[in-house]
Structure 1
Amino acid sequence: MSRSPLASDPARSRGREFAHSASETRGPRSAFQRDRDRIIHSIAFRRLKSKTQVFVAPDGDHYRTRLTHSLEVAQIGRVIARALGLDEDLTEALCLAHDIGHPPFGHAGEQALHEANARHGGFDHNAQTLRTLMRLENPYPTHDGLNLSWEVLEGLAKHNGPVTHPHPALAELDRDYPLDLAQWSSLEAQVAAVADDIAYDNHDIDDGLRAGFLELDDLLTVDWVADQWRAVERAYPGADRRRLLRELVRSQIGLMVNDVISHTQRVTEAMETAQDVRDAGRMSGGFSPAMFEQERVLKAFMYDRLYYHRQQVEAGDQARDVISRLYAAYDQQPEMMGGGWADVLPNEEPGRSRHVVDYIAGMTDRYALEQCRQIYGKAPSGLSNV
């Protein structure tokens, strides 16, 4: 498909926080291609392989982690971006990086850090993503961070739309390098956000069924899912049920992707430039109203039956305890932080507490458990709910 006039143009990027010379460019890559590659080669991205997606420290090899989820989001995002004529590399970079700020143990870990650091604004994984990419990842000799393009950073900052009350960590970064937080983001960023919804709505169903937390009969109480299941059964009579379940997930992803493409084309039909998307004052890329309502019903079902499942809650309680105890230990005795982190601990608040949060947020599930065991002599044994 030809390039849309609504696409972000890497040749007209607003640039990077830290200037660089043309001689630093390695290979024939656009600005957004270099951003994607910097993200993929980062330590923070590699750590996603051992961070919770839905199930805490799963024993099985086939459950999704933050890393595999991010790869699946990127695949869906590129499909949508290509169909709409958008910049696929920018979309992919945003999809790959969107969860980098998540701490160990997923939302349970996030809640624990939010409570532990409440006196200094708590914790927000989206702000932590920006902080990680702009300040904590330091592979370059001349500046902090990965020095990503403005378009990548602002798309990540506005992952769920304009930000009117930014977390203190994000507000500080915005003061250093303004990201127009109150304005809508690029169409690529909006596509990345809805690709995230499509991926976890459907792949969490796949993992939930595999783990036995979800039963097909319960899932079929969601009417539009039941419609898809009946269509799959008609198309493949007599096929193995496990294969039909995989086909159901694929069918739903395809349905949602096609809905996003057609609806976004209708909404943006009269727009002429990428700036028109930012000036629209509303989301331009996403689900149709009908699909939005269906997705909302599905999400409510998933929270009730999967995310708040008894075993999920019990594992989450244990995980929060691990993170809370780690924060207390490092807050009282910061010299226990390894990797040189104790040597650069700020003296003043909120920098001091934020430094402790940064250290814990970067941990994998496994490393957090190991550190808890070293400090306290024990940690929850078999912290896994599948």
Structure 2
Amino acid sequence: MWPMTLEGCVVRMADSISYVGRDIEDAIRLGLIRRNDLPADCREVLGDSNGTIVYRLVEDLVANSLDKPFLCFSQKVGESLKQLKNFNQERIYRNPKVKDQTGKVRIMFELLFNRYLNDLEKGNESSDIYREFLDGMSPDYKAKTPPAGIVRDFIAGMTDEYFLEQCRKNLIPQVRTRRFFEQNNRK
């Protein structure tokens, strides 16, 4: 389904622009691919780093959409973006090493979703969903968006690193040694 407004299109394009290069950087960092594995024509048109890819996509989108009632890339950049997305699909998202972790990540999403939903239902304002997300939202958003939608939006906006940090913080018990408690009781 395509967005019905220009604003919706901007959001969708921004999402597409932001994840394509970031996913490549993550895959390189994890050893799933090497920078030279990227299709040569994509490297030539868009670059081979997240920063360069984002810059060239935004630059092209603005240049080709300015003063028009729609958003578009040039044909060359649009084709390179499509090719790069296909590359990501084949080499990153469908990578057997990634697929092995899918079930675990799904469970983490469900647990974190339920944790934040519970925080909203109980009004736990010390939760990150309040401090990191809701405090910056409009009163209209807070009033009209159901709790499950708020949690969905919060999690959808997380980077991979922030998501993992939230899982560590909220889902993994903080085990302390007896020595830790003894030291803190003396204070």
Instruction: State whether structure 2 residue 171 is matched by structure 1 residue 369.
Output: yes
Partner of 1:203: helix, strand, or coil?
Answer: helix
Tell me how far 1:215 sits from its aligned partner: 1.0
Report if aligned partners of 1:198, 1:256 keep a CA contact under 8 Å in 2: yes
Q: Which residue of 1 aligns with 2:60?
A: 259
Unaligned stretches of 5+ residues in structure 1:
1-157, 163-184, 230-244, 269-276, 278-283, 331-336, 344-353, 372-386
Partner of 1:198: helix, strand, or coil?
Answer: helix
Q: Which residue of 2 aligns with 1:308?
A: 94
Tell me how far 1:260 sits from its aligned partner: 0.9
Amino acid aligned to 2:3: G
Unaligned stretches of 5+ residues in structure 2:
124-145, 156-165, 174-187
1:213, 1:224 → 2: CA distance? 18
Count of residue correspondences: 139
Aligned CA RMSD, in angstroms, stands at: 3.8
Q: What are the Cα deviations for residues 37-70 of structure 1, in whole angstroms up to 9, with x where unaligned? A: xxxxxxxxxxxxxxxxxxxxxxxxxxxxxxxxxx
TM-score, length of structure 2 as denominator length: 0.55
Tell me how far 1:289 sits from its aligned partner: 3.3
- 1:108-147 to structure 2, matched below 5 A, reads none
Q: Which residue of 2 aligns with 1:209?
A: 28
Report if aligned partners of 2:46, 2:57 keep a CA contact under 8 Å in 1: no
2:17, 2:167 → 1: CA distance? 25
Instruction: State whether structure 2 residue 3 is matched by structure 1 residue 161.
Output: yes
Q: Which residue of 2 aligns with 1:299?
A: 85
Report if aligned partners of 1:190, 1:286 keep a CA contact under 8 Å in 2: no
2:118, 2:11 → 1: CA distance? 35
Partner of 2:17: helix, strand, or coil?
Answer: helix
Q: Which residue of 2 aligns with 1:225?
A: 43
Tell me how far 1:340 sits from its aligned partner: 7.1
2:63, 2:120 → 1: CA distance? 51
1:218, 1:295 → 2: CA distance? 15
Aligned-pair identity (%): 20
2:92, 2:83 → 1: CA distance? 14
1:359, 1:252 → 2: CA distance? 30
TM-score, length of structure 1 as denominator length: 0.30
- 1:1-386 to structure 2, matched below 5 A, reads 160-162=2-4, 185-186=5-6, 188-219=7-38, 221-226=39-44, 248-265=49-66, 268=68, 277=69, 284-322=70-108, 338-339=118-119, 341=121, 357=148, 361=152, 364-366=166-168, 369-370=171-172
Report if aligned partners of 2:25, 2:50 keep a CA contact under 8 Å in 1: yes
2:22, 2:149 → 1: CA distance? 29
Amino acid aligned to 1:190: C
2:22, 2:120 → 1: CA distance? 38
Q: What are the Cα deviations for residues 210-267 of structure 1, in whole angstroms up to 9, with x where unaligned? A: 2222212321x352314666xxxxxxxxxxxxxxx6xx4433333222211221136x
2:149, 2:90 → 1: CA distance? 31
Q: What are the Cα deviations for residues 128-170 of structure 1, in whole angstroms up to 9, with x where unaligned? A: xxxxxxxxxxxxxxxxxxxxxxxxxxxxxx9x412xxxxxxxx
Amino acid aligned to 1:194: M
Q: What are the Cα deviations for residues 184-220 of structure 1, in whole angstroms up to 9, with x where unaligned? A: x13x54334323222222222222222222212321x
Amino acid aligned to 2:171: L
After superposition, the Cα gap between the structure-2 partners of 1:322 and 1:250, relative to the gap in structure 1 and judged at 3 Å, is: closer
After superposition, the Cα gap between the structure-2 partners of 1:161 and 1:289, relative to the gap in structure 1 and judged at 3 Å, is: farther
Q: What are the Cα deviations for residues 13-52 of structure 1, in whole angstroms up to 9, with x where unaligned? A: xxxxxxxxxxxxxxxxxxxxxxxxxxxxxxxxxxxxxxxx
